[in-house]
Amino acid sequence: MKTFNIIIALALTLFLASCTGKEETDNAQLETDISPVIPKINSTVTDVLVQDNQVVKEGDVLVQLDDAQYKIAVQQAEVAVALAKQNVALSKSGRGTINSSISSATANSNAVESNMASAKAGVEAAKIRVNITTKNYERFKTLLGQKSATQQQFDGVQAEKDAAEAQLRIAEGQVSSLQKQIEAARTQIATTQSTISSSNEGISLAELSVKQAENNLEAAKLQLSYCTIKAPANGVISKKNVQKGQVVSIGQPLMAITNNQNIWVVANFKETQIEKMKVGQEADIEVDAYGDKVFKGKIESFSQATGAKFSLLPPDNATGNFVKVTQRIPVKIVFIDKNNASLLRAGMSVAVKVNTEK
């Protein structure tokens, strides 16, 4: 009996020694990135190019949707862009004609103003002649009254005076006419400049219409591109739920792509176990599917909240009905050897033993 007790004590000692410096849990499973494949438009499936469990690469075509109406939308947008650009060209062409008109009006105004200087000089000359002939007229009128000049001489002086006055009236009329022409030319220039301003605004609006039409074209092309659904990531097709002829809508899950190259473990350790655990510590990972194989891993990170906090109805201890329960902290453990990734599947149950002595 004494020998038996010694054997039990030794076994217990060995067991406790083996447990020292290690934390383990079987509340763990494999995880990976799972990318959903969802349509961004409403349409009918015309072709499904993949099967369940097929390996695909990012950018591979998975599903083709009916694109007839989206091609028509692109063609209509292209026509709208062409029309908008044509309107810009017509507006600029009209502005060119207006610019020619204002140049012509400006040149005409300059020519009239040049003639005005000459006409005003003619008026001044006519006034001088009128002044001279008027003085001669007054002098010969006096001489005629004194019988010192003949009637014929007086009539000649009077005729010269009348001719000078007529010439002055003609010169003043010419100045008045030129002044009206200058005012008309200035009015035409102002009107043309206003037309140019309106034309510039029209061109700006036409150019904005081009930009809007081009944006609509890009949007139509984007919608058309959505008719070809491509793989968002590398991985394996999973949970395929789409068939040829099926009508799909925006946001409807069609399939998922499971990453088969990046598998990790999420182990839920009790909060009382993580005191000595830290990032970088090595861990032994036993997968239930491969009972005779031990995978090597290391701790990469710790969750910042317990698993209960992420539940649909997290516990609220403020109600007064408090029952203390040991919480579990999710710990992410990555595999050191990536070559065995093909053997593993997300969701597999595993047991983890972390060496806390290192």
State the fold for domain 70-224.
Helix Hairpins (1.10.287)
- Residues 190-243 pLDDT 10s: 776 666 666 667 677 878 888 999 999 999 999 999 999 999 999 999 999 999
Maximum average pLDDT range among 83-97, 118-132, 202-216, 262-276? 262-276
CATH superfamily of the domain spanning 22-66+235-355 = Efflux pump adaptor protein, beta barrel domain (2.40.30.170)
Q: What are the residue ranges of CATH 1.10.287 in the chain?
A: 70-224
Distance CA 20, CA 15 (A): 9
Q: What are phi and psi of 232, to 5 degrees?
A: -80, -15
Report pTM: 0.64
Residues recorded for the chain: 358
CA distances from 226 to 57, 147, 217, 242, 339 (A): 18, 118, 14, 16, 36
- Residues 290-313 pLDDT 10s: 888 899 999 999 999 888 877 777
Distance CA 171, CA 177 (A): 10
Q: In this predicted model, which residue has the larger pLDDT, 10 or 105?
A: 105
Q: What are the residue ranges of CATH 2.40.30.170 in the chain?
A: 22-66+235-355
Query: Cα dihedral angle (19, 20, 22, 26), rounded to 10 degrees?
Result: 30
| SS3 labels along 101-131 | HHHHHHHHHHHHHHHHHHHHHHHHHHHHHHH
pLDDT for the residue numbered 334:
93
Q: In this predicted model, which residue has the larger pLDDT, 20 or 286?
A: 286
Distance CA 294, CA 296 (A): 7
Helix (H, G, I), strand (E, B) or coil at 266: strand
